[in-house]
Chains A and B, each alone.
Chain A
Amino acid sequence: MTSRNVEDRIQKISSVIRVIPDFPKPGIMFQDITTLLLDTKAFKDCIDLFVERYKDKNISVVAGVEARGFIFGPPIALAIGAKFVPLRKPGKLPGEVIREEYSLEYGEDIMEMHVGAVNAGERAIIVDDLIATGGTLRAALNLLEHVGVEVVECTCLIELPELKGRDRLGDKPLFVLVSAS
């Protein structure tokens, strides 16, 4: 696999992401990955790029953030032989949960994970489609670290670098395919 090949695949992936202006509100340029999911080769390339990066890193947990992290996380988990752990909005997971509060632009939200889903000492990656301010990923990181999991990396398709989400992850590495300004 040459770097040109990786570059070509990323270029293609970037070109099939649709930007929708003024969603969910005026002034916001929404990065829509649903058009990528309609391009079978680009979707496969996207998953392959993540799998190539993580398959030899002894990752036993892929945690995906609801809901678009549920689209990208499981294919990666299946390919690298890791479990998939959904991180959900409050009240969705039926069993006993641990929760983490985090702040939004206006107000707060809560992220939950099932008790017993992960064990201390496991090596994990956290997957979401996009990182903006980093609030959601920070909450996911906290949830996993509170139970003794080693988060190896946070991984997204898209980063909005102007929102400095990377800074909110502290010393945790962040891997992204596409940077959107």
Chain B
Amino acid sequence: MSGFREEDPRINSIRTKIRVVPNFPKQGIDFLDITTLLLDPKVFKNTIDMFVERYKNKNISVVAGIEARGFIFGPPIALAIGAKFVPLRKPRKLPGEVISEEYTLEYGSDCLEMHVGAVQHSDRALVVDDLVATGGTLCAAMNLLERAGAEVVECACVIELPALKGRERLNGKPLYILVEYHS
């Protein structure tokens, strides 16, 4: 973290519980693995608590989680703040009528879907994922929610890779993260 802001004492254990796996999914990529954090109940709880403390008094009515690791962090936050949980999924997983948003990858494109009727115009939403890299997925998620008429209040991730400048792809929406990773 940059600047002189005093770090919450829980951040250090969150950072150290994240495992760096080199050369996954391909050579030259350091993969930030949150599964090791999930193995420590106290640190996992601290992670959720930090998000809950930030959002509980902000009238958030929707927590949207991006498949699949957003499904791990989103629901506990939603339950604690009394918001609905909305899963944003890869194509053809959601069984009902959906809206889709395409987004570009390094090579090719992918698509994110949300059920029609999951969110309404009056909803204030949070988008949750484990990590933000280029910001493409978060951007697609935000677009889905806004197309359905919801207001995206903030994006929240455990980890940011600042070198990939994902923050700039969020159309000015704020991004809250717990840990930065600089390779």
Contacts and interface: CB of A to CB of B under 8 A. Distances in A.
Interface of A: 18, 20, 23-24, 30, 32, 34, 37-40, 43-44, 47, 66-68, 70-72, 74-75, 77-78, 81-86, 88, 91-95, 114, 117
A74 B21 contact: no
B31 interface: yes
Q: Size band of the B side of the interface?
A: 35 or more
B35 A114 contact: yes
Interface string B48-79: 10000000000000000001110111011011
Given A37-B75, A85-B39, A92-B68, 16 more contacts: A18-B96, A20-B96, A30-B95, A34-B87, A37-B78, A37-B85, A37-B86, A38-B84, A74-B72, A74-B73, A75-B75, A78-B41, A88-B68, A94-B31, A95-B21, A95-B35
B39 A83 contact: yes
B35 A86 contact: yes
A70 B25 CA distance: 21
Contacts of B111: none
A70 B21 CA distance: 22
Contacts of B115: 34
Interface of B: 19, 21, 24-25, 31, 33, 35, 38-41, 44-45, 48, 67-69, 71-73, 75-76, 78-79, 82-87, 89, 92-96, 115, 118
Contacts of A44: 79
Of A34, A44, A67, which is in contact with the most chain B CB atoms at under 10 Å from its CB? A34
Nearest to B90: A67
A32 B83 contact: no
Given A37-B75, A78-B76, A94 B33 contact: yes
A86 B70 CA distance: 13
